[in-house]
Amino acid sequence: MATAAHQLTPEEASANPVPEAIVVRFAGDSGDGMQLTGGQFTLSTALAGNDLATFPDFPAEIRAPQGTLFGVSAFQINFGSARIDTAGDQPDVLVAMNPAALKTNVEALKPGGLIIADTGEFGQRNLDKAKYAANPLDDGSLDKWQLLKLDISALTVEAVKPFGLGNKEALRCKNMWTLGLALWMFDRDRAPLVEWLRAKFAKAPSLAEANIAALNAGHAYGETAELGAMGIAQRQVAAAPSEPGLYRTVTGADSIALGLVAGVQLAGLKMFYGGYPITPASAILHSLARLKEYGVTTFQAEDEIAAVASALGASYAGSLGVTCSSGPGIALKTEAIGLAIMTELPLVVVNAQRGGPSTGLPTKTEQSDLYQAVYGRNGDAPLPVIATRSAADCFDCAIEAVRIATQYMTPVMLLTDGYLQNAAEPWKVPDMRSYTPFPATHHTELPPEGEKFQPYARDAKLKRPWVKPGTPGLLHRIGGIEKALGTGNIDYSPSNHQAMTDIRRDKVMGIDVPDQAVAQGSTSGALVVVGWGSTYGPIASAVRRARARGVDVSHVHIRHIWPLPKNLGDLLGSYENILVPEMNTGQLKTLLRDQFLVDAKSLTKVSGQPFRIAEIETAIAAFFDNIPDNEGGELPPDNSQLPSQEAINP
């Protein structure tokens, strides 16, 4: 996705506009360029100073049959002049490029919302593919929404006619025509997008000019078609109040890549990234490949096992090894991760979770790898686990993963997910001088005369020394067979295995994890909503709204999944009820019950889609209305009892 940077001045930062938020969803066939359209609309929105959050949603197939229901690709953006934590529950505007896009998305549109439909694609063949018995644009079935019917296909072909494109090539420009109309609707500047198109098609200037013509034609249509007579007016959304500084849009993948680079800079190391392509983790490899000037080496291996083994070899050689995958690939890497635990070498393993099991839902989001991260290795093989909560938060979490890996000589797993990987939001570029360096040290000191070097000697943190192979006088051997205390020699004895197992456990459990803070609310009360990962946005919004109505509810969001913060048990014990929303069947809930013996209840969702704010609001209301909670099972949403997003000041 294209990124935008904007220097927010103190005057802009101190502005205090009336809070307003708008949700727009672009939907069409996989070949209609909806992700590109959404990405460029996001760029223009960021440059306008709005706060925003996005949700790209696309099928797993490389190209599903054109016009079919399972080939629909969508991109949703929530932007406004107030704080934005999620991509929005219900769109205000739906752009439907064909019948299938309309059918799969229209029920999500809020009553009275606007549908913009390309009538040129609503022929009988496409209606049949979408399983419509009649044309929905004409049969009254869309009466509860506003409907703007435009032959976008024909208007696009007419706009690009001077450039001599064939009909197929001309129709590929209709996403730019649609984008031009959207830019007019929300008073966005076209100049950055014109510049981007010229750069993108620098080797094909005629294509650049054709797309620019389509963009301008869509914008001109909005200006000249007197859409105000249909109740469709141009809307200006003021910039959101923020701290002054330099901002840019980032996806979670971008943010993790930048955080890893910042982490190795703070540690004074070089980084080796060993990866293998898998959705949605591949974007991290793509981002890191562009950062070679910061001492980053990227390697696309032949398979997942080779990827993690190469990263572990780099750590043995004195660099920081990093690898990334999704659940299926993490399963393949497990043996080598166990080797990293046994050899006690630093390694960062990023798990970009997706729907499972097996191939599962490759392009959909889920949080179902928590058990895998905490427990999923043979033997007693503990490692630290950190979870990111937002695209911007990925930066600091990646730095934290590097810190723990290098300061404790251990592999660390960093959990993100498909939603965070692809979602974008504004990120204030930090001043790196505010970060405390944590220099990694390679042991070079020779042992006292007459003594041998002990590669498994321990310091106060139970960390063993990190020695580059070939360091004079420090010859040593490491490997996967159990090591003797201190010497690292092979030792099968029962007492030694017990001692080494205890040391590996105690080292991880002794990591300096910050105390758990309360994100919203108080440190005790009637209800606390506990989350982890990408559920942060909807939980924060739902709790904020509930507290605005006087509900005694708080929000705790856990970054350090293992080891858990030392004060977490006492903190959770101070609340009467605990609700844990997560996109799995209750994995964090089980972990909390096991560790702290608390009566946590689940709110679960495994649809491949993020939580909606309304779903969590309904679950909160159930605790106070004495609605049965199905003994900790999933609580059904009931939007009819909830105020709209616009009715509450975020």
> What is the distance between the alpha carbons of residues 2 and 47, in angstroms, rounded to a whole number?
12
404, 410 in Cβ contact below 8 A?
yes
For residue 63, how many other CB atoms are within 10 A of its CB? 10
Work out the average pLDDT over 68-80: 94
pLDDT for residue 233: 81
> What is the distance between the alpha carbons of residues 287 and 398, in angstroms, rounded to a whole number?
14
Work out the average pLDDT over 78-82: 93
Which residue ranges does the chain devote to CATH 3.40.50.920?
Answer: 518-622
Rounded to two decimals, what is the model's pTM?
Answer: 0.90
> What is the distance between the alpha carbons of residues 348 and 483, in angstroms, rounded to a whole number?
23
Work out the average pLDDT over 220-241: 86
pLDDT for residue 16: 54
pLDDT for residue 231: 74
Whether residue 431 is predicted with pLDDT greater than 80 in this model: the reply is: yes
Whether residue 5 is predicted with pLDDT greater than 90 in this model: the reply is: no
Whether residue 262 is predicted with pLDDT greater than 90 in this model: the reply is: yes
467-504: b (≥16 Cβ within 10 Å) or e: beeebeebebebeeebbbbebbbebeeeebbeebeebb
Bridge partners, residue 361, by sequence? 355
The SS3 call for residue 80 is strand
pLDDT for residue 455: 95
> What is the distance between the alpha carbons of residues 608 and 360, in angstroms, rounded to a whole number?
10
Confidence tier at 647 by pLDDT (50, 70, 90) = very low
Backbone angles phi, psi at 274, to 5 degrees: -110, 115
Confidence tier at 457 by pLDDT (50, 70, 90) = very high
> What is the distance between the alpha carbons of residues 175 and 27, in angstroms, rounded to a whole number?
10
Work out the average pLDDT over 505-533: 97
Report the candidate in 182, 120, 174, 128 with the shortest Cα–Cα distance to residue 151: 120
Report the candidate in 344, 504, 382, 375 with the shortest Cα–Cα distance to residue 496: 504
Work out the average pLDDT over 344-366: 95
Q: Does domain 518-622 have CATH number 3.40.309.10?
A: no
Backbone angles phi, psi at 5, to 5 degrees: -125, 145
Which contiguous run of DSSP H or E holds residue 219? Answer: helix 205-224
Confidence tier at 14 by pLDDT (50, 70, 90) = low
Confidence tier at 638 by pLDDT (50, 70, 90) = very low
Superfamily name and number for 10-230: Pyruvate-ferredoxin oxidoreductase, PFOR, domain III (3.40.920.10)
Whether residue 615 is predicted with pLDDT greater than 70 in this model: the reply is: yes
pLDDT cut 70: percent of the chain above it: 93
| pLDDT, tens digit, 9 for 90 and up, residues 469-483 | 999 999 988 999 999
Residue carrying the six token digits 């990408």: 534
Whether residue 639 is predicted with pLDDT greater than 60 in this model: the reply is: no
Whether residue 632 is predicted with pLDDT greater than 60 in this model: the reply is: no
CA dihedral sign, ordered 590, 572, 517, 380? negative
Which residue ranges does the chain devote to CATH 3.40.920.10?
Answer: 10-230
pLDDT for residue 633: 39
pLDDT for residue 20: 83
> What is the distance between the alpha carbons of residues 15 and 193, in angstroms, rounded to a whole number?
26
Report the candidate in 321, 272, 309 with the shortest Cα–Cα distance to residue 294: 272
Confidence tier at 631 by pLDDT (50, 70, 90) = very low
Work out the average pLDDT over 606-618: 95
Work out the average pLDDT over 259-286: 97
Work out the average pLDDT over 514-522: 97
pLDDT for residue 60: 79
What share of residues in the chain are helix, strand, coil (percent, to 5)? 40, 20, 40
> Which residues lie below 8 Å from residue 555, measured CB to CB, with a gap of 6+?
518, 519, 520, 521, 528, 529, 531, 539, 540, 543
Flag the least confident range among 25-29, 227-231, 323-327. Answer: 227-231
Give the residue with greater pLDDT, 232 vs 33.
33
Give the DSSP letter string of 485-537: TBT--B---HHHHHHHHHHHHHHHHTS-PPPPPPSBS-SSEEEEEEEEGGGHH
Superfamily name and number for 248-434: Thiamin diphosphate (ThDP)-binding fold, Pyr/PP domains (3.40.50.970)
Single-letter amino acid code for the residue at 393? D
Work out the average pLDDT over 297-319: 98
pLDDT cut 90: percent of the chain above it: 86
| pLDDT, tens digit, 9 for 90 and up, residues 545-601 | 999 999 999 999 999 999 999 999 999 999 999 999 999 999 999 999 999 999 999
Q: 209, exposed or middle or buried, with CB in 10 Å at 0-12, 13-18, 19+?
A: middle
pLDDT for residue 111: 94
Whether residue 220 is predicted with pLDDT greater than 80 in this model: the reply is: yes
| pLDDT, tens digit, 9 for 90 and up, residues 147-181 | 999 999 999 999 999 999 999 999 999 999 999 99
pLDDT for residue 635: 35
| pLDDT, tens digit, 9 for 90 and up, residues 96-119 | 999 999 999 999 999 999 999 999
Which residue ranges does the chain devote to CATH 3.40.50.970?
Answer: 248-434
340, 382 in Cβ contact below 8 A?
no
pLDDT for residue 636: 35
415, 252 in Cβ contact below 8 A?
no
> What is the distance between the alpha carbons of residues 274 and 337, in angstroms, rounded to a whole number?
13
pLDDT for residue 648: 27
Confidence tier at 227 by pLDDT (50, 70, 90) = confident
- 3-class secondary structure per residue, 301-358: CCCHHHHHHHHHHHHHCCCEEEEEECHHHHHHHHHHHHHHHHHCCCEEEEEEECECCC
pLDDT for residue 8: 66
